[in-house]
Amino acid sequence: MSIITILGAGVMGSAMTLPARDRGHEVHLVGTHLDRAIIDSIRSTGRHPKLNVKLPDGIAACHAEELSGALETADLVILGVSSAGIGWAIERLCETLTRPIPVVMITKGMHPEPDRLICLPDHVTAEVRRRCGLSLTVAAIGGPCIAGELAVRRQTGTVITARAPDFAQALCAMFETDYYHPRPSPDVEGVEICAAFKNFFAIGVGWAAGHLEMMAATENRAFNHNAAAILFDQAIREMMVLAQGHGGTAQSVWGMPGAGDLYVTCQAGRNSRLGNNLGRGLTYSAVRNGPMKGDTIEGAELGVSVAATLRSMIAAGKLEAAALPLTTALLDALTRDAALDIPWAAFHRS
Amino acid sequence: MSIITILGAGVMGSAMTLPARDRGHEVHLVGTHLDRAIIDSIRSTGRHPKLNVKLPDGIAACHAEELSGALETADLVILGVSSAGIGWAIERLCETLTRPIPVVMITKGMHPEPDRLICLPDHVTAEVRRRCGLSLTVAAIGGPCIAGELAVRRQTGTVITARAPDFAQALCAMFETDYYHPRPSPDVEGVEICAAFKNFFAIGVGWAAGHLEMMAATENRAFNHNAAAILFDQAIREMMVLAQGHGGTAQSVWGMPGAGDLYVTCQAGRNSRLGNNLGRGLTYSAVRNGPMKGDTIEGAELGVSVAATLRSMIAAGKLEAAALPLTTALLDALTRDAALDIPWAAFHRS
């Protein structure tokens, strides 16, 4: 039995309480300043209002200002804030930690530096060391996991990645249940590139179903699945270029973190819906001001945040332009408000 | 401009008339003895009754007995019969061919020998040489292509594989249009294992949606997408073991022929529907005698035909048992009428 503090009471952080409690761990779920209503609800009724389920018994639900107490005896921190909240989380950890506690991240994203993308475990490790001198061991979870399904104990497979194989293995052993199946991986860069970019590429795959609505109906009522499959294939090819360009391996890309997670991300969700809308011929700004006003679209936010870095890596020859036609088209759609025209003939060429 | 004879007027053979005619080739579409009504319909109205579209103008539609004339000046044969019709097609070719004509196969399947599976291009080459002494050059097309979509010129990507790179390249150049994008590959075994087995594994992925119907509904209306993603991932892992065990490459498996085609196959179709029914708890015999009576289910037929060979390869250590838990469960469901119990804990282990 371990003592686990989850920082961030959003859907994914909170869903981790299921395998954690089912394996008998002591769980402190600490909300951010944005999670006050969630924490109050869990305290009073046990229910998580966004997951729309009653969480397991025995969770200590805490407000942000109670983080310090929740960390006092913790063996492990699960970092479950949103991508946008990572700076806030680093600040809180630096204020609060008095000793290094191992961290496992479920936050997805890449930290852009001018000449390369840094995966979040490395970013958190470096920032915490720089600011408060503590050396954290940071792992991350990738792979296909819809929080609402984990929260009702649906079969779920993930990959837990850490540079130290023993740490990844220990984390898997700590959370494995008969419905939650984490597998260890040493490929931090590959898993993290996939975790972030599967959302981005799901926008591309979503184009096909949206574009179908703009095409004249045919007598045989043909769908546009062949086109979606080309886009899915090209997404895997380009995730491989991006992963390998950052030191990741092919196996993460064709495995659970890449192809597996892209598969589930294309079944539903906001990234797909943005893609549908771009397929209908709307520009990204028109979608944001219209049908998806106010929505957080993770893949689009990622694209906007990494566009300058990726373009400069391509210009410097660190990433091959001819190998990234879908990436380029998506970046242009997200940052230059270009129509998303799919460059079919450029696919599968390099 | 080339002269192309398509043998088999089913949906896929007939859909190939679109890129063939759009590229200006002369096309002879020859039905099998089962295609008489299709050929008559094309002759009288131009319409293909199963594709439910009017085929391009200028196709010479021929009955089976007219094959000889259609082959007289042909530069290329497209072999478009069903898996079950491959023996019939070999017989017709041996009766009719007076010189070797290059062949490209769209027929999918594997020919089982006691100790390994032979891909159909090799089987056709060997049988024609044995029976009539002609040395054919045989290529094959794999990748995600729903015939009804190609037949209305939806964007479609495929892989054309041949041992001779020049031949694969020439075939791609012959059929490439602004909607049909074939890409060459030298990996005949890998492409053909994927072309055949993606149907088989789509049965496994389909389990998840069917099983969802058997589970108690949850307050948050959770789906079973996480489970489908584990199955999708495991399918890719096991296709890789099967492809590499027969001399194929990883790239075909994570590319268009494997992951791409599995993606499209999981969106709809009979293989998925069989999987849905197995997920509901029916046995294969119950499905065949009930909700899918009379349906041809390609992935199930493949599984039945290759089961003995795969089991003997596993027993002989040519394929690793621990790496094929989904394959084993599917074979048991198809040939021993076992319930399809998904061995979650055995996945992603080797």
Report the percentage of chain B scoring pLDDT > 70: 100
Whether the ipTM is more than 0.85: the answer is: yes
Structure tokens at B28: 């002879």
CA distance B255 to B235: 13
pLDDT, average across residues B268-276: 95
Place B311 in a pLDDT band, splitting at 50, 70 and 90.
very high
Which residue in A53, A155, A176 has the most chain B C-beta atoms within 10 A of its own C-beta, making it the best mutation to test that interface? A155
pTM here is 0.97
Model pLDDT, residue B169: 98
Model pLDDT, residue B153: 98
Model pLDDT, residue B317: 96
Give the rounded distance of the alpha carbon of B56 from its chain centre: 24
Report the percentage of chain A scoring pLDDT > 70: 100
Mean pLDDT of chain B: 97
CA proximity to B266, closest of B287, B289, B235, B240: B235
Model pLDDT, residue A268: 82
Beta strands in chain B (DSSP E): 3-7, 26-30, 47-48, 53-54, 59-62, 76-79, 103-105, 110-112, 117-119, 138-142, 156-161, 180-185
Q: Does A225 touch chain B (CB under 8 A)?
A: yes
Determine how β-strand B47-48 pairs with β-strand B53-54: antiparallel
Quick count: other Cβ atoms within 10 Å of Cβ B53?
Answer: 21
CA distance B43 to B39: 6
Which residue in B14, B55, B155, B175 has the most chain A C-beta atoms within 10 A of its own C-beta, making it the best mutation to test that interface? B155
Structure tokens at A109: 């994203």
Q: What is the pLDDT of residues A63-119, one digit of tens each?
A: 999 999 999 999 999 999 999 999 999 999 999 999 999 999 999 999 999 999 999
Q: How far is CA A286 from CA A146, A252, B215, in A?
A: 28, 35, 40
pLDDT, average across residues A169-191: 98
CA distance A314 to A322: 10
Q: Does A342 touch chain B (CB under 8 A)?
A: yes
Q: What is the DSSP letter of A240?
A: H
Model pLDDT, residue B326: 98
Model pLDDT, residue A116: 96
> How many residues make up chain A in this entry?
350
Cβ-Cβ contacts under 8 Å between A and B: the total is: 200
Type and span of the H or E element at A105: strand A103-105
Collapsing DSSP states into helix, strand and coil, what is residue A59? strand
Q: Does B249 touch chain A (CB under 8 A)?
A: no
Q: Does B260 touch chain A (CB under 8 A)?
A: yes
pLDDT, average across residues A42-56: 97
User: Above 80 in pLDDT, residue A59?
Assistant: yes
CA distance B142 to A220: 23
The beta-carbon neighbor of A226 closest among B154, B236, B253 is B154
Q: Does A224 touch chain B (CB under 8 A)?
A: yes
In this complex, do B156 and A345 lie within 8 Å of one another by their Cβ atoms?
no
Q: Does B135 touch chain A (CB under 8 A)?
A: no
Q: What is the pLDDT of residues B141-184, one digit of tens each?
A: 999 999 999 999 999 999 999 999 999 999 999 999 999 999 99
Q: Is A58 exposed, middle or buried (0-12, 13-18, 19+ CB in 10 A)?
A: exposed
Q: Which residue has the tokens 């332009």?
A: A321
Q: Does B253 touch chain A (CB under 8 A)?
A: yes
**What residues of chain B lie within 8 A of the CB of A225, using their CB?**
144, 146, 149, 264, 267-268
Q: How far is CA B151 from CA A89, A209, B14, B70, B169, in A?
A: 54, 18, 8, 22, 23
Model pLDDT, residue B349: 84
Q: Which residue has the tokens 């584990």?
A: B230
Nearest-10 crossing angle of helices A325-335, A225-245: 90
Cα-based angle B6, B7, B11 (whole degrees, multiple of 5): 80
How many distinct helices (H) and strands (E) make up chain B? Answer: 16, 12
Amino acid, res. B143? G
Structure tokens at A92: 């809180």
Structure tokens at A254: 């064709």
Q: What is the pLDDT of residues B26-63, one digit of tens each?
A: 999 999 999 999 999 999 999 999 999 999 999 999 99
Place B268 in a pLDDT band, splitting at 50, 70 and 90.
confident
Cα-based angle B4, B150, A333 (whole degrees, multiple of 5): 130
Q: What is the pLDDT of residues B208-249, one digit of tens each?
A: 999 999 999 999 999 999 999 999 999 999 999 999 999 999
CA distance B126 to A22: 58
CA distance A228 to A62: 44
The dihedral of CA B175, B179, B182, B183: what is its sign? positive
Which residue in A51, A221, A254 has the most chain B C-beta atoms within 10 A of its own C-beta, making it the best mutation to test that interface? A254
The beta-carbon neighbor of A219 closest among B52, B229, B261 is B52
